[in-house]
Amino acid sequence: MEMSILITNEAKRELDKLLENSDKQCIRILTRGITMTSEAKIDLELDEPNANDNLYDVDGYKIIINKILDSQMNYITISYGGLLSRNQFCVEADFCFYY
């Protein structure tokens, strides 16, 4: 299954600012806060790729995702702002869990 990644125009503007002020070239998609009581929050940070990552070029942005995490998702949307996440990025993904 090929990964589908969408970056909104608002997110692109903010990513441009982040990348401009960083020595890192790539945007890592990762999960945070995985506990038994809370669901994983998908987040992003600037990073460099390693051997365990898949690299995607999305409109000129280098997106890296750990191969194991990548295999669990099939659609990612990176947005910025909005009602629920003012002044911050929001990363949403469809997880393809098989039971």
Lookup: tokens for 22 = 């960083």
Question: For 36-59, how does the pLDDT look when each residue is reduced to its tens digit (9 = 90+)?
Answer: 666 668 899 999 999 999 999 999
11 φ/ψ angles, rounded to the nearest 5 degrees: -65, -40
Rounded distance, CA 92 to CA 99, Å? Answer: 22
Mean pLDDT confidence for 87-95: 88
Taking Cα atoms as reference points, which of 9, 29, 40 lies closest to residue 74? 29
**CATH class of the region 4-95:** mainly beta
For the chain, the domains span 4-95
pLDDT of 5 over the 90 cut: yes
Predicted pLDDT at 99 = 43
79-85 mean pLDDT: 81
Q: Indicate whether 66 pLDDT > 90.
A: yes
Q: In what order do the strands lie in the sheet with 4-7?
A: 4-7, 73-80, 89-95
Q: What is the pTM of this model?
A: 0.85
Predicted confidence at residue 82, as pLDDT, reads: 78
